[in-house]
Amino acid sequence: MLRDSFARTFNYLRLSITERCNFRCEYCLPHGYQATAEQAPELSRQEIQRLVRGFATLGLTKVRLTGGEPSLRKDLCAIIADIAAIPTVKVIALSTNGYRLSRDMQDWANAGLSAVNVSIDSLDPVRFAKMTGSDSLTQILKGVQQTVDAGLLQVKINAVLHANTDTSEILRFIEFVKRQPVTVRFIELMETGNSQQYFESNRQSSTRLVQYLLQNGWTQMVRANNAGPAIEFQHRDSVGRIGVIAPYASGFCDTCNRLRVSAQGRLHTCLFASNSHSLRELLQYDAQQAALQQRLDDLIARKTAGHELHEGNTGINNGFSRIGG
């Protein structure tokens, strides 16, 4: 079992399999994905398989494939199937912009995918297009509906909480979850190394949202010990839920159970860590599994207590597409 010096155990890996993305979200890749000459290639399917196998031996039970946009990998189904073949991995999830959800969700489920988180920052088509650089909201919502109807995958929606998220926007999502068995999670905007100006202009605390929910019949649910960072709310008239992820809240990191590996095979013990560690050289041969496990044990033991966002320290994170926020 992977354990740090603060007695936290880690059974959840967020693995970025590509930095490429076909959207231009204003808080992440406002100018679109741009490859650089010095950029290392993405982890191969075989490297990914060895990586997850190494983590699984140390207690890993959940893997989330992120990006970039992971559905741009042509071998995504094969990657999912490889991970599904590891007996101790019980949950395989995918974070996606949903562009290919309608087309591919059946294939993903057949390969072994358990859950999908779809990024939808607005239910207003004009606002959505402005935020993402894509006019595909109708297509994405169709995919969400088809996935829910098929009952093959657990569905969550992630929406970044920003200055333009007004009451009318919140009401759209509340109306959505009244009839859809999904959880919409509002995530507070987080600062990265290259987004200070955007962050300062667009940050909105979740405090007002939480107050609104509590004043309008929503009740906070009791969190399980192994729950993620979201605080979730339920309403007697709603089949779905509303969640809030507030990374600037006190104690946010206390129950951390996740680790991150970039598309180039670098371990980030925190989304906002001040350094990262290459694992790729230990993913070339099956015989390196013991060395990989020892490296992971050593690195996780040195994980810090939490991020330092309150001090303005965003670590080496210059953009979520690089690490798979």
- Structural contact between residues 191 and 144, judged by C-beta atoms closer than 8 angstroms: no
Lowest mean pLDDT among 42-46, 130-134, 177-181, 190-194: 190-194
Rounded to the nearest 10 degrees, what angle do helices 137-150 and 101-111 cross at?
A: 30
**DSSP-derived pairing of the beta strands 9-10 and 2-3:** antiparallel
Does 320 have pLDDT greater than 70?
Answer: no
pLDDT score at 196: 72
Domains along the sequence of the chain with CATH: 2-323 (3.20.20.70)
Q: How far apart are CA 81 and CA 33, in angstroms?
A: 27
Does 324 have pLDDT greater than 70?
Answer: no
- Report pLDDT digits (tens) over 7-62: 999 999 999 999 999 999 988 888 888 877 677 899 999 999 999 999 999 999 99
- Report pLDDT digits (tens) over 110-151: 999 999 999 999 999 999 999 999 999 999 999 999 999 999
- Report pLDDT digits (tens) over 79-105: 999 999 999 999 999 999 999 999 999
Model pTM greater than 0.85? yes
pLDDT score at 244: 96
